[in-house]
Amino acid sequence: MDIVVCVKQVPDTAADRKLKPSDATLDRASVDGLINEIDEYAIEEGLQIAEAQREAGADAEVTILTMGPEKAAESIRKALSMGADQAVHLLDDGLAGSDALSTSYALAQVLRQIGFDLVICGSESTDARMGVMAAMLAERLDVPQVTLASKVDTDGSVIRIRRVSDDGYHEVEAQLPAVISVVEKINEPRYPSFKGIMAAKKKPVRTLTLADAGIDAAAVGLAGAATEVVDFAQRPPRQAGVIVKDEGDGGVKVADFLAAQKFI
Amino acid sequence: MAEILVLAEHAGGEVKKVTCELITLARRFGEPAVVLAGAGAAQGQQRCAEFGAARVYTASDAVFDEYVVAPTAELLAQLVRDKAPALVLIAGTAEGKEIAARLAVKTDSGLLTDAVDLTPDSEGKPVAEQSIFGGATVVHSRVTRGTPIVAVRPHAVAPEPASGAAELSPVSLAAAVGGAKITGRVVAQRSDRPDLTEASIVVSGGRGTGGAEGFGVIEQLADALGAAVGASRAVTDAGWYPHQFQVGQTGKTVSPQLYMAIGISGAIQHRAGMQTSKTIIAVNKDPEAPIFELADFGVVGDLFKVVPQLIDEIGRRKQI
């Protein structure tokens, strides 16, 4: 079973994230990058499915796929040290500024080339927070979209998940190959072991350029984007509110505030 | 006048508030045409008329409820091709964004998500306002290719009634669409409280509630205010309250008129999900808690003293 986990390197959410004034794209250089948090759950799920397949006597391999600047190699190393077998890094300056639509095109081209039975994504990234990549990939690859999974089961030919809904979950099933996305509730990602970190250094990482992956350079990057930023600004800080210490009448003071604002 | 497609969120024809908001928004750009897909579609007509829908496309085939997202996206793509709308508006829920994503690929159109407002530029084209990086940066963006598709956050605008003809126009899929099949629906917890993302007041509890038992006071306060209940990630990770009520970076994003953060410190993870709320009240025993930087009104104190007193006070004032 060929499992491909899509991983995005994102700026640390604890850092001061900014757009670049020159082209309104994310400033990735000035802050530390790390694996998008939910992608670690996607990696963990991929590893668990592969382990279960191997226990059942089937072959299984987990490939990490990332698109991003050279720095994204750090996230690849982390994923490999968790236990993934190999990685593909789509790395080309022509990709800078791609929007979700063109990113999904580029990733789909690579996925077609490397082949897959199961593609696993995190439900959304902490930087753009669009939550669209798995759906876009399923549409482009013309395979079932089995997304927002809080639980996954597969026997290698059919996949069954719990898809989170507003009031609980839906039971969903599809034939492989498929694209799935996972939410953080699904598992507890493992920490890389010392052995895993050492082993990761020897694992194969293939770097692909646009030409290698058969990607039309005009369809990606800032020029290929179907959206543009008109302007952006730091949100003015909220006006400082009134903070009081509870002197035994804290509840009454909140009620006074609510009444003054016409909430009660 | 150009048609503006609005994909309705509904349960058996009961149209959700966010859809009324989207119809209101659509009126800024042209004639709203609402798409109702799935069981009970035609029952939604009346509500759409009350908010100014000129037309209602209904597709009540069972396929829309049987498969994940794909049939609805295909129906919209078909309408985009046939009707050439100037804009497509979809609710910015997790599922709405997935539908928008597939529609964008099908029609090679630009997609903007999480719009908190949408206004016409000098040529009448939509410009979306988005709030990114946990609300720290405000961005205005527009679509430069194809039919603009915008996923709009609930509460972006107040729904304003207006009369519309809501002319009924049944449609159906031209080709079979399948994909991932929905084989069951499980309701984890039924409650009479409003939907978390739709509610105009949200009362959220955090680590300070100390456990599932302590969280009861959050539910009591929510019920006193007719509010939805939310929870921080610490609470849902610990299993004190169900996961689907989590507000934050990895949970739901809410933008109610009033957000009450009780026993929540206000880490970036949480702030990203509630920062655009109109009015914020915080109760926390730690005066240094970052949530107080956002609060319009805050009380430094023990939530188990402040909140019960507040509930009593709300009850007392209701009687007067």
Chain A contact set for B98 (CB, 8 A): 131-132, 134-135, 145, 147
pLDDT of res. B190: 59
- For chain B positions 233-272, those within 8 Å of chain A (CB to CB) are 243-244, 249-250, 257-258, 268-269, 272
Closest-CA residue of B relative to A242 is B297
Within 8 A by CB and 6+ apart from B123, the residues are: none
Instruction: Kindly report, residue by residue over A104-115, the tens digit of the pLDDT.
Output: 999 999 999 999
A 10 A CB-CB count for B185 gives 13
The predicted pLDDT at position B163 comes to 94
- Portion of chain A with pLDDT greater than 70, in percent: 100
pLDDT at site B80? 98
Compare all CA atoms of chain A with the CA of B179 and give the residue at the minimum distance.
Answer: A144
Q: What is the mean pLDDT of residues B136-151?
A: 94
pLDDT above 70 (res A254): yes
Return the number of other C-beta atoms located less than 10 Å from residue B172's C-beta.
11
B98 touches chain A (CB under 8 A): yes
Q: Which two tokens stand for residue B83?
A: 């009707």
ipTM of the complex model: 0.92
Q: Which of A21-25, B150-154, B223-227, B279-283 has the lowest mean pLDDT?
A: A21-25
Residue A59's pLDDT band, with cuts at 50, 70 and 90, is very high
Residues of A numbered 76-105 whose beta carbons fall under 8 angstroms of chain B's beta carbons: which are they? 99-101, 104
Closest residue in A to B186 (Cα) is: A169
Phi then psi for residue A229, to 5 deg, are: -85, 130
Q: For B52-72, write each residue's pLDDT tens digit.
A: 999 999 999 999 999 999 999
Are A168 and B108 a contacting pair at CB < 8 A?
no
Selected residues 171-190 of chain A with any CB under 8 Å from a CB in chain B? 171-174, 178, 183-185
Percent of chain B with pLDDT over 90: 84
Nearest chain B residue to A134 by CA: give it. Answer: B98
| pLDDT tens-digit map of B43-56 | 999 999 999 999 99
Chain B environment of A118 (Cβ under 8 Å): none
The reported pLDDT for the residue numbered A237 is: 75
Neighbours of B144 (CB within 10 A): 14
DSSP per residue over B11-32, as a string? ETTEE-HHHHHHHHHHTTTSEE
pLDDT band at B189 (very low <50, low <70, confident <90, very high): low
Mean pLDDT over B155-182 rounds to: 94
Pick from B44, B113, B50, B55: nearest CA to B79:
B55
Q: Who among A14, A135, A164 is closest to B69 (CB)?
A: A135
Helix axes A133-141, B70-83, angle to 10 degrees: 80
Q: Is B104 on the interface with A (CB under 8 A)?
A: yes
* pLDDT bucket at A146, cuts 50 / 70 / 90: very high
Integer Cα distance of A118 and A91 in angstroms: 23
pLDDT digits (tens, 9 = 90+) for A30-49: 788 899 999 999 999 999 99
Indicate the length of chain A as a whole number: 264
What local confidence, expressed as pLDDT, does residue A234 receive?
86
Does pLDDT of B136 surpass 80? Answer: no
Question: Strand pairing of B126-132 and B111-120?
Answer: antiparallel
pLDDT band for position B134 (50/70/90)? confident
Flag if A264 and B112 touch (Cβ within 8 Å).
no
Q: Hey, is A184 helix, strand or coil? A: helix
Confidence (pLDDT) at B320: 62
What's the first-to-final CA gap in chain A, in angstroms? 59
- Angstrom distance (rounded) from CA B300 to CA B292: 9
Cβ contact, residue pair A250, B249, below 8 Å: no
Residue A175 CB contacts under 8 Å (≥ 6 apart), including other chains:
A144, A157, A158, A159
- Distance in Å, alpha carbon of A70 to nearest chain B alpha carbon: 23
Higher local confidence (pLDDT), B240 or A126: B240
Report chain B's C-alpha Rg in angstroms: 21
pLDDT, mean of residues A176-187: 94
What band does A60 get if pLDDT is binned at 50, 70 and 90? very high
The per-residue DSSP string of A186-197 comes to G--PPPPPHHHH
Closest Cα in chain B to A241: B296
3-class DSSP state of B187: strand
